[in-house]
Amino acid sequence: MLKSTVLKGLALVSLVGVLSGCSTSSATNKSSASSSQSTTKTQTKRQKLISELPKGVKSTDSDLIVVNKWHKHDELTFSKSTVDGITVRSSVVKPLTAFLNGAKKAGYPATLVSGYRSVAYQKEVWSQSITTYEQQGKTAAQALKLTKEYVAVPRGSEHQTGLAADIMNTKWFDSHDSQLLSSSDKAKGQQWLIKHAPDYGFVLRFTKSGTKSTGIDYESWHFRYVGKASAEFMTKHNLTLEQYVSLLKSRESAKK
Ligand SMILES: [Zn+2]
């Protein structure tokens, strides 16, 4: 049942940013004073952010692993447990339970829809999607194209880290046919989750402003555990995990 809900969700929403393709901006070769001035400004801002990064956090911390379509991973090894019947990495059971309890206490019970998904399962969803499109009369090329738009590429889904959790305000979820839709952020309960996630060490992973950096469209339900200090910093400065880890790497290489 959970599986069919997830599959339905996968079919209905874009889990992979469609054509966001390349993360590098199309840098033109302007050598005007204004452009070099703005480059300096950007660099100064970046230096300032680096100097303010939380102490003791490293880019190599297991909570900060980046998995996306540009950084694919084979199956990772870690201990697993369940929360509300959903499998997650054991290390997030405590913060995730606290997050869900916090929402309930605030008057906004939430449903944990999805947590850990194995690479094998991602492959299954992928090939099932291709088969479905082909059965609908699409050519192999069309089926692949459509699948790429709506299904995370195998080995490229953050759900394999066990640190990601799709969480929906229960009332909204139940009254919208158990769909994962970005418009759920209109519900007060979903807004509560987004606002308070950092208090429990989670961030809303795929923000509206971060689509270029993450390669994934806005998702108002996908939360990612990164630890409290990192979650607070990322939220305060509106950074994606990709951008945050890049800053951490810069700090580390400057120290060498
Ligand atoms: Zn998700």
**What domains can be seen in the chain, in order of their start residue?**
32-118+155-255 (3.30.1380.10)
Residue 255: which pLDDT band, with cuts at 50, 70 and 90? confident
Task: Give the pLDDT band of residue 32 (cuts 50, 70, 90).
Answer: low
Tell how far the Cα of 114 is from the centroid of ligand 1, in angstroms: 7
Residue 12 has pLDDT above 50, yes or no: no
Measured over the CA atoms of residue 143, residue 26, residue 204 and residue 220, the dihedral's sign is negative
Measured distance CA(66)–CA(242) in Å, rounded: 7
Residue 2's pLDDT band (boundaries 50, 70, 90)?
very low
The overall average pLDDT reported for the chain is: 87
Of 124, 219, 242, 252, the active-site residue reads 219
- Residue 134 CA, ligand 1 centroid: distance in Å: 26
Please tell me the distance between residue 39's alpha carbon and the centre of ligand 1 in angstroms: 34
- Written as six digits, the tokens of 125 are 């969803």
**pLDDT at res. 15:** 37
User: Which residues on neighbouring strands pair with residue 71, listed in sequence order?
Assistant: none
Cβ within 8 Å of residue 215, ≥6 positions away: 16, 17, 20, 21, 23, 68, 69, 70
- For the segment 148-200, what is each residue's pLDDT rounded down to a tens digit? 877 888 999 999 999 999 999 999 999 999 988 999 999 999 999 999 999 99
Cβ-contact 150, 129 below 8 angstroms: yes
CA of 89 relative to ligand 1 center, distance in Å: 14
- Quick check: is 242 catalytic? no
| CA 127, chain centre distance (Å) | 22
pLDDT exceeds cutoff 60 at 8: no
CA–CA separation, 158 and 114 (whole Å): 12
Percent of the chain with pLDDT over 90: 74
DSSP string, the chain: -HHHHHHHHHHHS-SS-SS----S--------HHHHHHHHHHHHHHHHHHHHSPTT--TT-GGG---SSSS--PPP---EEEETTEEEEGGGHHHHHHHHHHHHHTT--EEEEE----HHHHHHHHHHHHHHHHHTT--HHHHHHHHHHHSPPTT--GGGGT-EEEEEEHHHHHHTTT---GGGGGSHHHHHHHHHGGGGTEEESS-STTHHHHSS---SSEEEE--HHHHHHHHHTT--HHHHHHHHHHHHHHH-
Q: Which residue reads 């993450």 in tokens?
A: 214
| Span 73-112, pLDDT tens digits | 999 999 999 999 999 999 999 999 999 999 999 999 999 9
